Structures are given as C-alpha cells and as structure tokens.
C-alpha cells in the first residue's frame, strides 16, 4: 500500500503537464492538431519551473542551517537509548542552535547529538538555556565555541510583517527524514491557547504546511529565505498532519534566544499588573464602555505599570499599535520587549482612551533557593546509601530563601532530594539534575501554593513543605 501511495502521488504531480502536452498534439479522435494550433510543448514546464524558483531558492538558503537533534538517555530496562528527536537551526557562527524546549527537555535525558545538513555529527552539546513559558531552548555545539568549525547560519526575518495567505516553507526532520521541506501558507497570525498553559507567551503563527513528529524546533521560512517562525505544535487527533500547525513567531524567539546567549536565562519584561482578558459583552455587563482588552484588576506598587499611571479598572485595548484581541498578544509583547523595553499602551478609562508608556523591568520568578547536583553512585556510597540510589544532592542553600525560613524544618547542603510533589497528588521522581531542572521550570511557570519534598538526610527520610514566592 505504501509503494502504491507514493506512486500515485508522483503521478499526481505530473498529471497537469502530461495532459497539457497530450491535448496540445491530439484532438478527441486521436487526430493530429494542425501545427498552427499547437501550444508550445515546453510552456507548461517553463511556467511551473518559474513558479517553483522562489521556493527552490528559499529552501536552498535555509536547508544548510537546519539540524537534527537526537536525545539519548537511560530507562529502567535499557541504557543509552534514543529517547526522542527533533529539529533546530543554527543562529550563530559559534554553533548556537535554536529549537523547542520540549525537544531537549526529555525525562531521563543524558546527552544530545546534533547532526548538520552536511553530515557532520557533534556530541559535545550544551543546553545554554530552556524556557518553559515560550517552549524555546538554545543549545551550543561546544566545538563551535573554539572557532575551529564553520557553520552556515540562518537569516532571521520579521514575523510582524507576515500576512495571511503568504507562502511559507517548513523544514525539519519529520519521522527522521532529515532536511524535509513542505509548503503551505500562513493560515492565521496571533493564535492563542495553543499550548493551553497559563502564563505562556502564546501568539502563534498558524500554517497548513505539513508538520509531523520530528518537525518540532525546525524553521518556518518565507520566500526570501528568512526564518519567520519555529515549528512547535500541531492540532491532530492522530498525531499526524491535519493541516493545522503552529509556529512561534521569530521576533519572540529572537528576544528569548538573545537573552539566553548573552545572560544565561530568558529574561522577560515585567509590567506589574494582574487581570483578565475581557470581551466587549463581559465589559458591557460590568457597565464598562470599552472595546475588548485586558481588564486590570490590580497594579503592583512601584512597578512599571504603577509608574506609568495604570490603575485598577483600566482596560488595555492596544499594545504597540495592536489590538489586544486575546491575552497572548499582551504577554508576547512584554516578552519580546524584554527588560528595559518600552511598551506603548492605549488604556480605556471611564470612556476615554489614554496613551500610556511603560518602561519594563525584569520579570521576577519563583525561586526556592536550592542548588543541586546529580547524585553519583560514588557519592551515594560515601553517605552510606546503596550505589544505585538516584536523586540530587543539595550543594548550596541561598540565605533568606524559602528553603531557610523554618529553622526546625529546613533543607541543608548534603541532603538528598528524591521526589517532589506540587499542584496535586502527582509525585515527580528526581533521578538527576535534569529532572530537578524540569520540575523547577514547572514551578516557576505556574507557582503553586506549596511544594513538598521527599528528603534523605543524616537523620533519615523526611517530608518537607516549602512555599515558593508568588509574584504578579
């Protein structure tokens, strides 16, 4: 069946040219058509090639920058198993690779392998930073940092200039078919609610270019050969392409990646407001005459919002000239502007539109104040535990952090954390530092009221509860 399907697709691609040439030479009775009535045989081919040329050129510019990322680790039954794979693309001559966080943040992951389009394979890979809110990550090929490797780097475009209906290409390694190119159009921009998580900087590009498993992290490309998005998710009940794919706008990705490369973390802007997105109807029911927008419930004292003059009851209807049609637009603009960035807001207050300029500060995240390292078999035996014990050992506790608030019930260096529980009954097993980092990212993305730890200490095994700081 597979061979037959491939054949049918191949035939379908040349059908128009075949019949055009056939009917140009023969009539319905099989007789020769007079020469003066014949179409030029190569005209359909030339037209098709002319239409294809921009696509061919765009693919040729970007394909050399696209990489395949493979994730290896251990399971309970097998060692050094390939746990997953995805795509990414080179964004600097020093070997920086931009991809999705979910491509590399795989439970049990121990090492990454990056394969370039020219066949080069690198195993000395560092994860410089991974941001759960935007689902972005930056890797670095360590050999590239030495300057002894040459890389072809992608050109980043301007996702704000994308138009619905514009032709785009998706490039990646779907189902491990490296360097695959699919074509589609921009179906919509500013899509929200794709990942479904509160606090995510969601403002996705929707495309019908074919996206499948393995495309994650690969580039979405315009006809200029510029990357305009990072392919991230699909809407599908089967796990295969349904023609509804979503890409992170490159303007947001550029800001997050630059912060990770330059400062080591995704440093977002902070406005200092709490509220909800509200429709015209819901505002009208509250007797507020305003277009749809972000309804401000509270303003944090001494925050950028307070200094700019925003007040509870204001409705933010525009940000940087764009209507706030959903909450993702405001979140994305704050993330893109970054610390020190200037937001130009239009706020509706008592029926009047006010222009407000807010200079963003740096976002504050929940921090437990605990630094850890993976527990090695040798270290486990040193503290009297079986060598097969897994977990993380506490290397440092920051003074004044939640981990030090209770003098009688506190975590100290040398303690071993083996599991974490928060936000329900699910227990997260902590087998190494990677598992710990994934849990901390979840806590920072949506801070729970209480985090519970299972700890092995010199006094035995005990449970400890901490309250992470919650910030607006």
- Just list the catalytic residues: 102, 135, 216
* Tokens of residue 148, six digits: 């002894």
Closest listed residue to residue 116, CA positions, set 77, 158, 152, 169: 152
Closest listed residue to residue 110, CA positions, set 89, 129, 130, 125: 125
Terminus-to-terminus CA distance in the chain, angstroms? 56
Instruction: Return d(Cα 100, Cα 135) in angstroms, integer.
Output: 5
Instruction: Return d(Cα 446, Cα 366) in angstroms, integer.
Output: 9
Longest CA–CA span in the chain (Å) reads 101
According to DSSP, the residues that pair with 141 across neighbouring strands are 125
Number of C-beta neighbours around residue 261 at 10 A: 17
* DSSP class of 64: G
Structural Rg of the chain based on CA atoms: 27
290 and 349 Cβ atoms separated by less than 8 Å: no
Instruction: Return d(Cα 21, Cα 33) in angstroms, integer.
Output: 12
127 and 159 Cβ atoms separated by less than 8 Å: no
Q: How far is CA 142 from each of CA 73, 102, 172, 424, 443, rounded to the nearest angstrom?
A: 20, 21, 22, 39, 30
439 CB-near residues (< 8 Å, 6+ apart): 420, 428, 430
Instruction: Return d(Cα 141, Cα 127) in angstroms, integer.
Output: 9
CA 15 to chain CA mean position, Å = 39
Place of tokens 């990056």: 114
């Amino acid at each position: 069946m597979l061979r037959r399907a491939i054949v049918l697709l191949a035939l379908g691609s040349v059908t128009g040219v075949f019949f055009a040439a056939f009917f140009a030479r023969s009539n319905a009775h099989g007789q020769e058509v007079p020469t003066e009535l014949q179409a030029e045989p190569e005209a359909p081919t030339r037209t098709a090639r002319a239409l294809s040329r921009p696509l061919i050129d765009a693919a040729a510019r970007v394909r050399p920058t696209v990489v395949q990322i493979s994730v290896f680790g251990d399971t309970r039954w097998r060692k050094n198993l390939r746990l997953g794979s995805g795509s990414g693309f080179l964004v600097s001559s020093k070997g920086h690779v931009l991809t999705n966080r979910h491509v590399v943040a795989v439970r049990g992951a121990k090492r990454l392998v990056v394969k370039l389009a020219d066949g080069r394979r690198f195993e000395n890979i560092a994860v410089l930073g991974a941001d759960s809110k935007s689902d972005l990550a930056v890797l670095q090929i360590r050999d590239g940092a030495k300057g002894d490797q040459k890389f072809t780097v992608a050109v980043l475009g301007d996702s704000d200039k994308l138009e619905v209906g514009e032709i785009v290409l998706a490039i990646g390694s779907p189902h491990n078919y490296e360097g695959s190119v699919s074509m589609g159009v921009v179906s919509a921009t500013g899509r929200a609610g794709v990942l479904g998580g509160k606090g995510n900087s969601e403002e996705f590009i929707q495309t019908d270019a074919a996206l499948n498993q393995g495309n994650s992290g690969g580039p979405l490309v315009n006809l200029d050969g510029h990357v305009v998005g990072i392919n991230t998710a699909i809407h599908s009940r089967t796990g295969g392409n349904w023609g509804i794919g979503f890409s992170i706008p490159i303007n947001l990705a550029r800001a997050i990646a630059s912060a990770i490369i330059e400062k080591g973390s995704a440093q977002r802007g902070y406005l200092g407001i709490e509220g909800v997105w509200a429709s015209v109807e819901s505002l009208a029911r509250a007797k507020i005459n305003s277009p749809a927008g972000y309804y401000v419930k509270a303003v944090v004292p001494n925050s950028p919002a307070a200094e700019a003059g925003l007040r509870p009851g204001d409705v933010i209807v525009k940000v940087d000239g764009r209507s706030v049609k959903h909450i993702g637009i405001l979140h994305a603009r704050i993330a893109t502007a970054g610390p020190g960035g200037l937001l130009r807001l239009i706020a509706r207050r008592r029926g009047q539109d006010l222009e407000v300029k807010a200079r963003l500060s740096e976002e504050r995240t929940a921090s437990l104040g605990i630094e850890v390292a993976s527990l090695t078999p040798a270290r486990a035996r040193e503290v009297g535990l079986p060598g097969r014990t897994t977990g993380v050992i506490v290397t440092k506790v920051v003074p004044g952090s939640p981990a030090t608030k209770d003098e009688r019930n506190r975590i100290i260096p040398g303690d071993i954390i083996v599991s974490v529980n928060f936000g329900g009954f699910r227990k997260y097993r902590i087998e190494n530092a990677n598992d710990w980092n994934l849990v901390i990212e979840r806590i920072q993305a949506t801070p729970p009221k209480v985090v519970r730890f299972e700890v092995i200490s010199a006094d035995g095994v005990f449970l400890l509860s901490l309250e992470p700081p919650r910030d607006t």
